[in-house]
Every structure is written in structure tokens, then in C-alpha cells.
Amino acid sequence: MDTAEIRRRFVAHFAEDTSVGAHAAVPSASLLLDDPTLLFVNAGMVPFKPFFLGQETPPYDRAVSVQKCVRTPDIEDVGKTTRHGTFFEMCGNFSFGDYFKEGAIRLAWELVTKPLADGGWELEESRLYPSILDGDDEALQLWKRITGVPDDRVIRLGPKENYWSMGVPGPGGPCSEILYDRGPAYGPDGDFGPKGEDRYLEIWNLVFMQDELGAVRSKEDFDIIGSLPNKNIDTGMGLERVAFLLQGVENMYEIDVMMPVIRRAEEISGKRYGADHDDDVRLRVVADHVRSGMMLIGDGVTPGNEGRGYVLRRLLRRAVRSMRLLGVEDRVLPELMPLSRDKMGETYESLITDWERISTVAYAEEDAFRQTLRAGTQIFDLATREVKQGGGHTLSGERAFALHDTYGFPIDLTLEMASEQGLVVDEVEFRRLMGEQRRRAQDDARSKKGRHRDASAYRAVADRLGRPVEFTGYAETVSEGTVAGLVAADGVVSTASAGAEVELVLDRTPFYAEGGGQLADTGHIELDNGARVEVLDVQSPITGLVVHHARVLEGEVTPGLRAHAAVDLERRRSISRAHTATHMVHKAFREALGETATQAGSENAPGRFRFDFSAAGAVPASVMADVEARVNDVILDDLSVHAEVMTQREAVASGAMALFGEKYGDQVRVVSVGDWARELCGGTHAGRSGQLGVIKLLGESSIGSGIRRVEALVGGDAYRFLAREHVLVAQLSDTLKVRPEELPERVHDIVERLRAAEKEIEKVRVQQLLDAGSDLASGARLVGPVRLVAHRADGVGGGDVRQLALDVRGRLPAGEPGVAVVIGVADGKVSVVAAVNDLARERGVSANALVRVVGPLVGGRGGGKDDVAQGGGADASRVDEALALVETEVARATGA
């Protein structure tokens, strides 16, 4: 059974179910959702999170979906196991306060065991083992009753395996898995732990979302503070896992949507799948990453140096690299990716219609990487020649790191090529250097190093200069130098005239190039021929070169001219104060929160700074106040801020901290604020802590999982902010006729009174709604034997529409068939609720059918049970037409 058919049967099983009711078939969401906690959608339930968290009302009670997912934490395990892939499809059925454990278990078991002829998968029941959370007796009894499996076939597992939560306070609940026994060839009998996963393969996980969690400290350590008001079902079934079982292959890489890529890779590499373990892993990596990269590009990701773009770049380059390790040095993506497109395009048609864009992005990335490999190979050959000429046998970790860092040369290739030359690589040193460099900061800095993609122009200027540019900015903000070269859009140029923007290189400069979180200096350069240029930005596109992005104000600039360079002094001082403040805040947070509060990024701008650091959760207001008080006390102490140059070993011994993706040579610069804060740093700083004046923390927020951001002001900017705050407090005090210290209590009283007033208003609104229900019920029309209310409620939405419909139904005559359909229109959104009483249902009227009929007219859809159903849409222009259709549908259903 091919994967497309497995997927189709899954959706049909739930969409056509009659036992608990048809599920709304929800198409896969994009891999990219506006969720700051996720890089990509990584589970089938993610698009439904707002429903489970109670943030939004679901337009249906039941749903089924096959969701595209990407997970990258296990990227290094891809190809090595039968279970790990980056892109996968998660099949799931969901109940939002509708059916619960019994329905979920029955539906899952029916699909898994139902004969092929009846639309099922017909897996052998004797190979299936349900698992439960140890102690969940309700689930145990349901599994035994519904499936008939004996007690010893139901596996009891602990919360680490069989309790689900989102890792934060909110919904949670026990799970039940369906495990498939692949037989003794894959492991010993009865080992249902992690070591037995190859044999007892989890194919489906049923989450019984029933608990409200307070604190979640780990998978096994959490607080259950109560029961959820609505019990929900969230299941996840790995499509690829079921596919390789039903297709009789060994692992997910050999299924019909992936194996064509492996077969083509065999043909062009000359390797045979199944002949060598290492080659098999590489072939599987190729199949997985080609598909994953294609799906990411299809959803709008482009290769880049950070975030989602970096993940995509890594996947595509790992695929190309794996083919190279298989002996293929020609372009491979044009050979492989179309095969993946043809198979996945059977389900995701946009891969076919948008193929030109997808292929262009993918193939361009491969071409760029091939150029990287060519350049890296030349450098590698030079390095190995030097090692051999010196009589050595080891390529240093520093050389391997330079190949990786500067040329993007993968360490795998370095290891392989070194082995071919009879050399080994100092991997320990390489890993140490990699550990010192946080990739994200490195990529961000790299993206700003220069405005020209081709570094050859910069290298030409650097070669002509013959030495690194001398930076004099630590000791002075004005210095003399000589124009060493000019770079423009077309590369190295010999002259730049008034009005032109050019990148100017001096042999020595006081201008600080952006780096380490510190913004670049600006200022002016005057040349001895009378020419003047304004410096707009300063970057270091390659090591040792400082480039001034400048606008020529007057005259003509040519290499060789003497230059008088002057930094904007006030801007420099303001930025330097911000940089020193960042060091001080970093130290204070580590004192307050512990050594794990490590800097994860910063930006030091004139008068303000941004500081990112690791933290498990939000920083309490009391800690923020303590940190602010601590750094301002240090300002009053007027400590000396000084820098020393020493070896890395000496720096570490002195207690200096080395930060995220900074590159450090053997000689490092250590900046100290007295004997209190000490860090490795290449930036500029204030001379004494007292020069900062005052630091004001504006607040903190989350910018990602485990990372918090503090925004702050320093110096004059902080003073002016506090002055404005003082004026504001004075104005409020005058308006409210209280002393400043009484403001919080007075504001609290006002807010409480407003809340009380809002509650009273809400009571009035609900009463008006109920009064409207009485009037509507008394005016019900007779359609055949049915009393029908079909009403448009302008300005009413969401739960109010449902309440009104139920209230109207309850007010209709008890002894007659009754139907209430209310369509609310509020804020451009349409809400539809149908409520049908028992007598009307006996006459053939279904609330679910009514909502499904009118849904398309209002630009949406919906569903539910026969007694109550709801839906929504975004087109209010046809509401009256939809209400008329309700009457027609009721008449048709009753034969009136």
C-alpha cells in the first residue's frame, strides 16, 4: 500500500466515521507558524494549540489532519536508526470536548486492524501491544474491553513515556501508545523500554488531555492542580512508520516516497544500498534531506545564516556533502530532487505548480556550496603539504576549524581527505574551538561584514596593504593614516568622486568596526588634497581588514592620500557607556540568578543597550529591581574600567568570561570594571563606571526558548527617561488628587471599579441576549411540522451566538419539533450555530447537516453533532441567503 493510500485511508476513516461522528478534515498547515516558541511545526497538534489552550473556540468538535512536520534536534541521528527523520507527516485525530478515551481507543484500533477491503490497514492483532500510563485503570479496562487483548498484553509505562504536557503550565494528560512487534530479529522478547524500540515500534500515541498542570519541571516531575473543564483528545500517528510496516521494508527511508531518491543516488554514485553500513547511512541522509529541504523551500524558507534559513542550508549541504562522500562531485540536486517532487507532489500539488521557484533556490544553494568546496580543497591541499614538509602527521584543529569557519568546509570532508593523505586531524582541538563559537552570533556578524558578496575585492586590498589594519581607537578618536584602497560595487576602484558611496580602507584607523554587539563608529575623514568623506558605517568583512562605508562629500579620493580620521566623539562615548553597562548588567544578573544566566547576545547603541541571556523563565520584578540597584551602586563607586592583553590561559585564571560566538586568538583583551566584572572583549568602554551616570532597565521579555531580553538606557538617555517619568507621575498625582506614593493604590481602586462595572454591563448584555431569545422563540415560523427560528444577530459573535441558539431552542414548545439557527456577524467574522431538539431530529433534521450546508455561503465551514453544531466564516454578504437556505433545508429534511 503506497503512502498516499495510507494517508487517504486515515483521513477517510475519521471523516466518514458514524460512531462518534464525522471529523472535519483539516488540511496541513504550513511548516511555518507564527509561534515564537517554535522554529517549525514539529507535531500534528501544533496548529490546534489555540483550541487546546482555550485561546480560541474551535469551529468543529472533531477534526482529522495529516500535518507536515520538521524536527531538527535529532539531525545527527538521521539515517542511523529506523525512526529519525527531519521531515515527516503526522496523522492525527482530535476531539475538542467531544469524545474521550473510549472513542479514541475504539477508532484507533478499528483503523489499525480493519481488513484492507473495508478501508483499514489489517495489521496482525497478535503483533499489537497497547500501552498505558501505569495506574490509568480506566484506559486499561477500555483497552481490554474494546480490543479483547488479555491483561498481560497491555504494557504499563511510566510518565516519562506515557504522560504528555507542553512542558509549561497548561493542559496535560496520560497517553496510550500502540506498539507493533516486528519480531525477535529486531530485539529480545518483552523489552518495551528505549532499548527495545526497534522491535516494539510505537506507531500511534493517544493523548487523553484531562489534567490542568501547574508547574512542569520535567517529563516525570509536574503538578496536577485540577481537571480540565473540557476533556480533549490529541493523537499522533507517524505516517512514515506505518508506511514501512505496511510496505514490508526495513525502515522509513525505504518507503515509496523516499526510495526513488536512494535508487537514483545508487545509479550516479555506483554504490549499492545494503552493501556497506556507512554508505547506507549516507544514502538515507540524502533521501531524507532532499525531501526535507524541498518541503521547507515549498513553504517559503530560503537558505540563510540564521534561524530557519540556517536549518535549510544545513540540510541541503548535508545532502550534497553525503553524495560527495559517496564519490559524486557533480551537481546532484537536479538529479534527485525532482524524484522527491514527483512522489510528494501527489499529495502537495504546490510542489508541482511552484517547482521553478523551489528548484531555483535549491540548485543555487548547491552551486554556492560547490564553490565553497573548491576553495576549501585548495586551502586543504596547501595545509597538508605544509604538514608533510615539516615531517608531521597531524592537521591541527586550528587549521580544520579555519577550513570550516572561513570556507564552510565540512569537518567530515576534512577527516576523509586527511585520511587519504595519511594524516589525522586534531579533533579535540577542533571541537574546543567550535564550542567557543556560538553559531548564531557568528552568522549574524558574518552577514554584516561587508556589502559585497565577493570577498576577492577585500582580499586584493588586504594583500596590497600587506598587514592588518592598525586599530588605534582604544587610545584615540582622531588619528592620521593613509588611504590603502577603495572598493565599490564593481570591486576595487582607483578613484571616488563627490557624491559617490565607497568602501574606504585606511592603513590605520580610530574607527571601531561593528562587532561583539557594539555598533560601528561614524564620523569624518579629511584627505590632504582637500577631499572630505562622511563615514556612515564600519565593518570588518575579512580578518584584519577594517572597511569604512563612506560618502564622498567633496573632492576626489584616491589610494595613497594622507588622511585625517575623526570619530564622532559624542556617539563613541555614548556607545562606550552602553557597552560598559552591558558588562555590568551581565555580572549583576549572574549574581542574582546564578552562573547559568550567560549572555546570549547584545547590542550596544548610543545611550541604550539590549542584553540577551539564558534563563528558564521570566525574571521576577524584584530581581530586575535588585539588578538595577546593584549596577547603579557600582556606578556610584566610580570603579576604574581598564583593559589588559594576556593569554587565554591567563584570562581564564583571572576569572574573565569568554562570550558566545566570539573568536579569540592566544592573546586576548580582558576588560574589567574594578575587580568586579571581567570579560574577554574587543569593544570600547567608558574610563570609569561613574561616567555612566545612571542605568535604567526598561523591562524584560522572552525572545525564544530559554532566552530573555532586557532593554535598558544609560547616561543622559536614562536621565531624560526618568525625568519624563517624574513629570508623568506628577501629572497623575495632580489629576487623581493623591500623593505619588499613593498612586498604585488609587489606580488599583479605579481598575477594580472598572472591572465591577464591566461585570454589571456583562450581566445586562446577557439579560438582553436572553430577552432576545424569548422574543425570537415566540416568533418561530412553522416549516412543515417544525418550529424554526433562523435569525441574523449583528454585533454578536463566538460563544454568545451559541448561547443564544441554545436559549432559543430551549424556549420553543416542548411538545413540538424545534430548530434554532443563529448566524452572528461581529468584527467581520461570521459565526453559525444550529440547535435541534429531539423531536426535530426524529423528523430527520440534523444540526450538523444544516451547518455544513450554510457554511460555504459564509465563506467557511463547520460541523458537530446532530443536536448542536457550529461553524464560522469570513463572508457576511450572504448571511441572509444562508438563513433562507436553512428554511429550505429543514423543509427538504422533513418532506414539507
Distance of alpha carbon 149 from alpha carbon 144, whole angstroms: 5
**Cα–chain-centroid distance for residue 122?**
37
For residue 888, with 0-12 CB atoms within 10 Å meaning exposed, 13-18 middle and 19 or more buried, which class applies?
A: exposed
The one-character DSSP state at 195 is G
Residue 135's DSSP bridge partners are none
Spatial neighbors of 628 by CB under 8 A, at least 6 apart, are: 695, 696, 697
Question: Does residue 579 have a known ligand-binding role?
Answer: yes
Size of the chain in residues:
896
For residue 688, with 0-12 CB atoms within 10 Å meaning exposed, 13-18 middle and 19 or more buried, which class applies?
A: middle
Q: Which residue has the cell 553524495?
A: 323
Inter-residue contact 239 to 65 (CB < 8 Å): no
Distance of alpha carbon 544 from alpha carbon 432, whole angstroms: 23
Distance of alpha carbon 433 from alpha carbon 661, whole angstroms: 10
Distance of alpha carbon 696 from alpha carbon 717, whole angstroms: 9
Query: ∠618-622-624 over CA atoms, to 5°?
Result: 65
Inter-residue contact 850 to 762 (CB < 8 Å): no
Question: Does residue 175 have a known ligand-binding role?
Answer: no
Q: Where are the beta strands (DSSP E) in 293-373?
A: none
Distance of alpha carbon 110 from alpha carbon 90, whole angstroms: 19
Q: Would you tell me how many other CB atoms lie within 10 Å of the CB of residue 34?
A: 6
Tell me if residue 445 falls in helix, strand or coil. helix
Q: Which residue has the cell 588611504?
A: 483
Query: ∠411-417-421 over CA atoms, to 5°?
Result: 140
Strands 707-714 and 695-704: antiparallel
* Structure-derived torsion over alpha carbons of residues 96, 98, 101, 105, reported in degrees to the nearest 10: -90
Spatial neighbors of 65 by CB under 8 A, at least 6 apart, are: 25, 26, 27, 28, 44, 47, 91, 92, 94
Query: ∠617-622-626 over CA atoms, to 5°?
Result: 110
Question: Does residue 583 have a known ligand-binding role?
Answer: yes
Distance of alpha carbon 298 from alpha carbon 296, whole angstroms: 5
Tell me if residue 151 falls in helix, strand or coil. helix
Question: Does residue 681 have a known ligand-binding role?
Answer: yes
Inter-residue contact 177 to 205 (CB < 8 Å): yes
Distance of alpha carbon 89 from alpha carbon 238, whole angstroms: 6
H helix or E strand, kind and range, residue 667:
strand 667-673
Q: How far is CA 1 from CA 111, 115, 119, 501, in A?
A: 14, 13, 11, 63
Distance of alpha carbon 465 from alpha carbon 445, whole angstroms: 24
The one-character DSSP state at 454 is -
User: Cell for 13?
Assistant: 476513516
Q: Would you tell me how many other CB atoms lie within 10 Å of the CB of residue 512?
A: 26
Inter-residue contact 691 to 718 (CB < 8 Å): no
Nearest Cα neighbor of 245 from 107, 403, 121 is 121
Distance of alpha carbon 25 from alpha carbon 65, whole angstroms: 6
Max alpha carbon distance in the chain (Å)? Answer: 103
Distance of alpha carbon 179 from alpha carbon 200, whole angstroms: 6
Bind-site residues for Zn(2+): 579, 583, 681, 685
Bind-site residues: 579, 583, 681, 685
